Structure 1
Amino acid sequence: MCRCPADSSPINVEDILNRLKCLSAAEEFFAALGVRYDPKVLDVSRLHIMKRMGQYLAAEDFSHLPDQVIAARARAILERAYCDFATSAPLTHRVFKVLRDHNPDRPVTPGRTIIPLDSFLKPFEKE
C-alpha cells in the first residue's frame, strides 16, 4: 500500500467538478484538490496519472452529492492514481492503448510498422 503525503490545508469545494473540468495542467489538479506530490514522479508519469484519475472518476456517480463529498472523493481518487505510479513504472499499469497493445516479447515485423514518409507528404489530389 502506498502512503501518499497528505496536505491538511483546506480546499475550496464549491462547484469542484466544474472547476476541475476547466483545469489543464496536472499541477493544477493537485493544487485544486490539495494533494502533495513529488515533481520527479509527476514529470515521468503525469499523463498516466491523469488518465488513471479520469478512469477512476468515470466509475463514480457524483449526482446529488454535496460539493464537500465530491471534493473528498476526487481528492482520494487523485491520491490513488498518483500512488499507482509513485510506486511502479507506467509500463506496469498500461493505461494507454499503445502500451496495452505492445508486447515486448513479440519482435517487430519489418515493414508492418513503418509508414513511408512519401505516403503522407504527397499533396492531396482533387476529386
Structure 2
Amino acid sequence: MSTSAVTEPVDIVARLQIAGSAEEFFELLGVAYDPKLLNVARLHILRRMGQYLAGEDLEHLPGDEAAARCKAVLERAYADFVASSPLDQRVFKVLKDAVAPKTPKRPAFVPLDALK
C-alpha cells in the first residue's frame, strides 16, 4: 500500500484541480491505496469522489477542514471499490445504460385509410 502525509491545506481544492493523476489525489490527501486496485478503478474512484464532493460545500471552510473533508470523501469513494467492482458500482452512464430496462420500440403504424 502506498501512502503519504497530508500536505499543507493551502487551497487543497486548487491543488486537486491541477493534479495530473489519481495517485496525486491520494498523495495530496494522504490516503493509503493499493496500486493494483487503483490501476483498475482509477477513473471510477475519481468520478465517485466527484459525485460525493458535489454534495459538499467546501468554499467557506478553512483550508484544514476542507482538506479533511476531501480526504474523507476520497476514502469513502475508494472504499466503494474495495468492497465491489466498477461493474457493480456503475458510476458511468455507459455502464448504467447497459443494465437499464429497454423500452420496446413500437412498430410504425400507418392506418389503411391514410394510404391512397
Structure 1 ranges of 4+ moved more than 4 A = none
Distance in 1 between residues matched to 2:55 and 2:100, nearest whole Å: 30
Answering whether residue 16 of structure 2 is matched by residue 26 of structure 1, we say no
**Cα RMSD between the aligned structures?**
2.0
Q: TM-score, normalised by structure 1?
A: 0.73
Corresponding position of 2:34: 38
8 Å CA contact retained: 2:44, 2:86 = yes
Corresponding position of 1:60: 56
- Highest CA radius of gyration, 1 or 2? 2
Change (3 A) 1:105 1:62: closer
51-60 vs 9-18, greater mean Cα deviation: 9-18
Q: Work out the percentage of aligned pairs sharing the same amino acid.
A: 55
Gaps of 5+ in 1: 107-127
Distance in 2 between residues matched to 1:57 and 1:104, nearest whole Å: 26
Size of the alignment, in residue pairs? 101
Gaps of 5+ in 2: 103-116
Corresponding position of 1:124: none
